[in-house]
Amino acid sequence: MGWFGSAHHAPATPPDPTLWPAADFDALVEAFRATGFRPANAWYLNDTANISYAHAAPDGGCLRQPVLFVNGEFDGICDITRSRLGDPMRRACQDLSVANLPVGHWLPLERKNELVEAIRSWLKTKEL
């Protein structure tokens, strides 16, 4: 029956104004009304092109420049500390730094100041 039982969809939940100021939420809703949610998911629907690009990428797709990944410790989708999800990234990035924040999937909304500080700190450390 899945997460939401026989309804097969999440219940309507009002936006949390501490995460989504009303004006921002309304703008996002209007954007999705205009374009739908498909463009936001296009990356996940683009496997064939992504795999073709990866096979043709210079240096086998390895990145030599410094790379920062900001990990959300409570992100059920992209957390790289409790799964092997980050293993390909670790192999592909010669100079990978990982910063962990106590957030879910929406880092800029949940901890904007901490995210900016993590990026600033990394830039200083890398002298970029």
Same domain, 40 and 68: no
Question: In this structure, which long-range contacts are made by residues 65-68, counting pairs with CB atoms below 8 Å and at least 24 apart in sequence?
Answer: 65/95, 66/95, 66/97, 66/122, 66/126, 66/128, 67/93, 67/95, 67/96, 67/97, 68/96, 68/97, 68/98, 68/99, 68/118, 68/119, 68/122
99 and 63 in one domain? yes
Domain that holds residue 120: 59-128
Does pTM top 0.85 for this prediction? Answer: no
pLDDT in tens, 15-70: 888 878 899 889 988 988 998 888 878 888 888 998 898 889 999 889 999 999 99
Band of pLDDT at residue 1, cut at 50, 70 and 90: low
Measured in degrees and rounded to the nearest 5, phi and psi for residue 96 equal -100, 130
34 and 65 both lie in a single domain: no
Number of domains comprising the chain: 2
**Is residue 14 assigned to a domain?**
no
Q: Predicted confidence band at 7 (pLDDT cuts at 50, 70, 90)?
A: confident
Domain assignment present for residue 12? The answer is no
